Structure 1
């Protein structure tokens, strides 16, 4: 397998037949491989999110990141688009599921697809990754410090979200969760609650919590970046997807 890849901005069919923007990266060659849907964090469809898409392509997967803010702010800079979406309460859950479904369908339609697709999300995208895995036929899901999978948003929280406790019994895919011990949303108690619920329902999951790491420890361009936690997290993601999607 070569580490050469191609990447491009494309259009895909999202929720309710909407035409939305997405960023697609693919390894060179037509060997059979799995696909990964990357759900961007609340700051938006930005350079960091696209770098993650390319990283999965370098690991041997077709990877795509749908621009969840296409409708609110088409063509806007990531920060501006995120501000508009946040002011409107964030991305509705039903629309998120539809957009991820469209992204997964696009990956499965590629001639290189082996039929298996995983999803991964960071920050708000971590919650949305779990949401997608509760409602779609996916083969693996990764939650990177997603807030309010369990727990309750504080008063004045800018996004109109609820927890997913009532949906967790429907989880359809193995789940990898990566969390920071110093995070508040999700805090250790919320992670423990999630673990208890998934255990009670016999779900396939593995969680890892990193001491000394807070929220957004994967974000290389933010003060929260934690080298040790991020490096170990990437190794665990690679192994998890190799097991469930095929490297």
Structure 2
């Protein structure tokens, strides 16, 4: 057992299993320094802070924000970027809470590493590739169950939004959880390395596009070097063939990470339009 109270370890099959037990304070190391245009949402009028969510035999840290009034409130799962649940994701939770939601963001890398203290190379080579999709689906399911059991979250009005790494997860979770009423994916990866025989990443959104019946709004940048326009068009075509209620909006001349106000990639006009579209999408499908 580590002497560090924020970490614990166990032996499993000869390998040490990491467990991150608390969230990052501030912004992840890999995104420093943050931009002067970073948006900060006050917690005034909210119940906001770190909590623990039981999942798969351990407690994973999560950030929750909700109005201080009487619930239950519609539930909004906020799914992290590649950098984990750091200050930007917490702020997004507070933004949703200000709109009347019980917003909750579980740390989905908790067993694989701490992205808040790692450089980008370590995040993309040692942490993210080792996070099984099945584990993520279970952690999200258990986060929903936690919200319901709290009495403050109304999971009959369940929405989800995710960014970057979490944008890909949104598409997968939309196919996984039939109780999800609506979702919004910000620049989520659609294709790439996946294998049906893999225990980590058996499928990508393009592989399961025919099964997505949940209304998902995909928000993408036309100048996103990580997500080729051809893949976006393949996803659109697949959704159309499946007669899915999902839609995709592309902002021309806009890069990856355009909603991330703390980074140079931030595109104010696209971000503000995307935020308005997301709110309208959730209202249209009853997540209010």
Where on the TM-score scale, by shorter chain, does this alignment land: which range?
Answer: 0.7 to 0.9
Q: TM-score, normalised by structure 1?
A: 0.87
Aligned partner of 1:20 among 60, 75, 98: 60
Tell me how many residue pairs correspond in the alignment: 236
**Which residue of structure 2 aligns with residue 141 of structure 1?**
183
1:164-205 alpha-carbon deviations (Å, 9 max, x no partner): 333222224210110000012222111111011011011111
Q: Structure 1, unaligned stretches of length 5 or more? A: 155-159
Matched, 1:183 2:221: no
Partner of 1:40: 80
Q: 1:90-169 residue pairs with structure 2 within 5 A?
A: 90-114=130-154, 115-136=156-177, 137-147=179-189, 149=190, 151-153=191-193, 161=201, 162-169=203-210
Does the CA-based 8 Å contact 1:25-1:53 persist in structure 2?
yes
Q: Secondary structure at the match of 2:118?
A: helix
Q: Does 1:10 align with 2:51?
A: yes
Using the alignment, how far apart are the partners of 2:273 and 2:130 within structure 1? 30
Return closer, same or farther for 1:84/1:72 CA change in 2, 3 Å cut-off: farther
* Structure 1 residue aligned with 2:236: 195
RMSD, aligned CA? 2.3
Shift of 1:153: 4.3
**Secondary structure of 2:278's aligned partner:** helix
Q: 1:87 aligns with which of 126, 135, 160?
A: 126
Moved more, 129-138 or 105-114: 105-114
User: Is 27-36 or 54-63 further displaced after alignment?
Assistant: 27-36
Matches of 2:186 and 2:224 in 1, distance apart? 12
Matched, 1:50 2:126: no
Match of 1:70 in 2: 110
CA-CA distance at 1:13 after TM superposition: 1.9
Deviation at 1:223, TM superposition (A): 0.8
CA-to-partner distance for each residue in 1:46-70, whole Å, 9 max, x for gaps?
1111111111101110000001122
- SS class of match (1:41): coil
The 1-side partners of 2:185 and 2:115 are apart by 26
Is the partner of 2:151 in helix, strand or coil? coil
Partners of 2:175 and 2:169 in 1: CA distance? 10
CA distance in 1, matches of 2:217, 2:152: 25
How far is the alpha carbon of 1:86 from its aligned partner?
4.1
Whole-Å Cα distance in 2 between the matches of residues 178 and 32 of structure 1? 29
Q: Distance in 2 between matches of 1:85 and 1:211?
A: 27
SS of equivalent residue, structure 1 residue 54: helix
Counterpart for residue 271 of structure 2: 230
TM-score if structure 2 supplies the norm length?
0.76
The structure-2 alpha-carbon separation of the partners of 1:51 and 1:231, relative to structure 1 and needing over 3 Å to count, comes to same
Shift of 1:216: 0.3
Which structure would you say has the larger Rg?
Answer: 2
